[in-house]
Structure 1
């Protein structure tokens, strides 16, 4: 028997592989998910023995249904309930918002179903263009911290900006400020020296979903893509800028174009709650959340903001749904900037219909991507948009990493979510949705400025691009639901 197994081991392994693969195919089909994604999984499982099962294991689990972690411990705490109850608007206030938002109230109500995304009316909002401006403000706010500092980042890498931040964090910790840091184990590269110093400074730090070989896992798992900073419960930051020298043009050898937000006001509470849900998961601490984390804020601003967090821990894909609603209800224009454009069918349809309905739809993407597969997958979608009248521009000054959208001079969003399947369905993301004419016009002005450093794609020339390019695009598009 042993001799038979040894002689036919390869055949036995192949049979076992296809027994598991067929079971997985049946499971995928019964889920009734997106047909494109279903076909992609079937192709991988059938034509790539062993590798296909690994890819399905890493990608194919429906974590939104199974819930990677529970948010109940945080959301059920009396302090959090009191904050959410205080922020909840009554019918009279909602009517005022309806009049103010000029028809965009559908968006508010969509997110309002998510109890952790209340619409906040009392906020000051600063639009921060590029990492240099973000870190100038962030370092100043960190140095002024009196009670606590909460940081949650996808990327933290060794370098000059990290060293500056670490010096400030250790200084504040020595003064008695409570510093907590959550970082993604795949996106971040913290050296043993940095971890040792964090420990010596008594800064609590935990990785998000640690993996054994982060260098080899790439994106083949569910990651925390958020970039959140909360200082004393009074000031918060959110947007596209991570903690690494490449995000700071002062230290970078090539130009990096990004956008971030500084918030003061009621919206800080939502980002604070989002941080605590992550902290509860990464630290496994049953932290008692006190009112000191949610101080009363005297806010002079009147910018309406909703914070939407989305990921495998939420019941619905809130960020994707909000962006979809904003596009489909647009009347004048939709201007989008994204570094990674690998959209699902719903988003493509929304952009096409908006453009064909007379809405001015413009899209800025990088000319050069940091991923060969993503670049060609992105290109495979552009012809369908161009045919529908969408104007597509490729940023040429450097790499554009901003994740923004502005609609009709009244609505804008800045956050961590890209316009791709991974951000909409797999990663943990957070976006600020802003309902304000002044801020929307500021973002529109920046978009127009970025157009000056971008080249427009000519629809006719694009349609006549080499067949070899189209073949690469079609191949990479097959993988688009998985990348």
Structure 2
């Protein structure tokens, strides 16, 4: 009698290389075709196709997990792409003529923004710059304490530490007063502290949700592998009248009180005026995407404001791996192209792609002064090494690069010609520009630009200039390691 198991065993021993080859072709060829047809950047397409073909099984699995933008490719896109309502107050009309207050070339930026952002540039906004947690957190907590009917809070990181517990306490008291509260935290960012703060919020009855929650089971993970697509937005809106946004998460490391007067630095902004409605629209869209709850705009947004002077034009710019992909990338490319005198950039993670580096380099060669401030000591060492691997390209073109000393600065700030500012959550790295959901605000105001420039110039005053000579002094082994890390920069 023929032993079937023995026959199968013998067949496998003799033909397993052929079986493996056929399986690798069946798996890798469709996957490589998908990468070639869907990746918009030629370098990304070549890289993924190469990985898939050289390592058919591991490469294909890696592409399925990290390479496919499911926010655009699955039914999630139907939720993300719903028409978003901008709650409009017609007492603050769309800005139509910037020449009365600003240089003529800034009109091109307004035109660009009209094409990129769903929101219109509107005047009537009062904006205040808040330096660090010592200024931002008290202002935010005070607004929460004074809330009368609604609080919407969104953050990438919301730590369950001493400052985080102050926010929880303030939110609980607001809820007890009858205020409607919604809290949205990124599902990865919430894990930066333990136990995570959303458990404490829910314990006290605060309505809280996690953006792109990641299932723990492996099979579930393959159904919803969103670990690479995070909400990096930071928004607080109180009573639809006052809002806060910028680069600051909720962490005690930004407070002098909890760091022996040596906090990390960051910059946040408070807003009053029509831009608050744009921030609320952004939050409401993310909240509905996460929870399927539609927030009533008549309740969550104010119709009138008692906005103090001065009042300036501003608008929100959303970006993310949905239909707003590359919004910030396009805005910055245009801003660098129209700059005539001075570009100032402060970024903790400066890893622009070749297009943005080309725009900066071209500006420098046109005679525009370009100052770029990065931290000397970074909280992400891999990113710091990758930055050093490519920073020579902007220095060679004539840009001035400064390594800020002292406490780590997490600020994301850009000014053009002392009149236009771009602030918010976006870093100048591939993750912010293509993978994260980000929120920024463009501001047309000489006074705000001057305040930002002063903050950047203060960093430059005590910073170390980075030159090609200093880069050449880095040992070859370290430069090689930096370059290898730089190869993975799209996923750092």
TM over 0.5: yes
Contact 1:383–1:463 (8 Å) recurs in 2: no
Aligned equivalents of 1:211, 1:82: Cα separation in 2: 32
User: Cα deviation per residue 1:98-150 (whole Å; 9 max; x = unaligned)?
Assistant: 33231212111222235632112111111111122110111111100001000
Verify: 1:211 aligned to 2:247, yes or no.
no
Using the alignment, how far apart are the partners of 2:39 and 2:291 within structure 1? 35
Q: Does 1:45 align with 2:52?
A: yes
CA distance in structure 2 between the aligned counterparts of 1:125 and 1:255, rounded to whole angstroms:
24
Q: 1:438 to 1:287 in 2, by over 3 A?
A: closer
Q: 1:85 to 1:322 in 2, by over 3 A?
A: farther
- SS of the equivalent of 2:402 reads strand
1:336 aligns with 2:345: yes
Structure 1 residue 400, shift from structure 2 partner? 1.6
The Cα shift of 1:315 comes to: 4.0
Answer yes or no: is the 8 Å Cα contact 2:129–2:269 preserved in 1: yes
Deviation at 1:42, TM superposition (A): 3.1
Does 1:199 pair with 2:202? yes
Q: Deviations over 1:400-459 (max 9, x none)?
A: 210111111101111000001111111100001111001101110110111133211122
Paired with 1:296 and 1:143, the residues of 2 have a C-alpha distance of: 21
What does residue 246 of structure 1 align with?
253
Note if contact 1:256-1:400 (Cα within 8 Å) is conserved in structure 2: yes
* Aligned position for 2:4: none
Within a 5 Å distance, the mapping from 1:125-204 to structure 2 comes to: 125-189=127-191, 194-204=197-207
1:286 to partner: Cα distance: 3.7
Look up the SS of the partner of 2:489 in the other structure.
Answer: coil
Identify which range, 366-375 or 331-340, moves more after superposition.
Answer: 366-375
The change in CA–CA distance for 1:9 and 1:275 in structure 2 (over 3 A counts) is farther
2:410 aligned residue (388, 398, 401): 401
Q: Does 1:236 align with 2:239?
A: no
Q: Match of 1:258?
A: 266
- Of the candidates 303, 307, 328, which is equivalent to residue 295 of structure 1? 303
Q: Is the 8 A contact 1:65 1:315 kept in 2?
A: no
Q: What SS class does the counterpart of residue 370 from structure 1 fall into? A: coil
Cα distance 1:256–1:197, how it changes in 2: closer, same or farther (>3 A)? closer
Q: Which residue of 2 aligns with 1:358?
A: 367
User: Does the aligned pair in 1 maintain the 2:214–2:226 contact within 8 Å?
Assistant: no
Q: Is the 8 A contact 2:27 2:56 kept in 1?
A: no
Structure 1 residue 18 displacement after superposition: 5.1
1:122 counterpart SS class: strand
Alignment partner of 1:444: what SS? helix
Secondary structure of the 1:243 match is coil
Alpha-carbon distance in 2 for matches of 1:34, 1:193 = 37
Work out which of the two has the higher radius of gyration on C-alpha atoms and give 1 or 2.
Answer: 2
2:92, 2:27 → 1: CA distance? Answer: 50
Unaligned runs of 5+ residues in structure 1 are none
1:227 has 2:234 as partner: yes
Q: Could you tell me the TM-score, scaled by structure 1's length?
A: 0.90
Are positions 1:99 and 2:100 aligned together?
A: yes
Cα shift readout 1:234-253 (whole Å, capped 9, x = no counterpart): 11111111012223233236
Could you tell me how far 1:27 is from its partner in structure 2? Answer: 2.2
Per the alignment, do residues 16 and 372 of structure 1 end up closer, same or farther by CA in structure 2, a change over 3 Å counting?
Answer: farther
Note the C-alpha offset of 1:298. 2.2
Q: Distance in 2 between the 1:296 and 1:36 partners?
A: 49
**CA distance 1:200–1:59, change in 2 (3 Å):** closer
Question: TM-score scaled to structure 2, two decimals?
Answer: 0.89
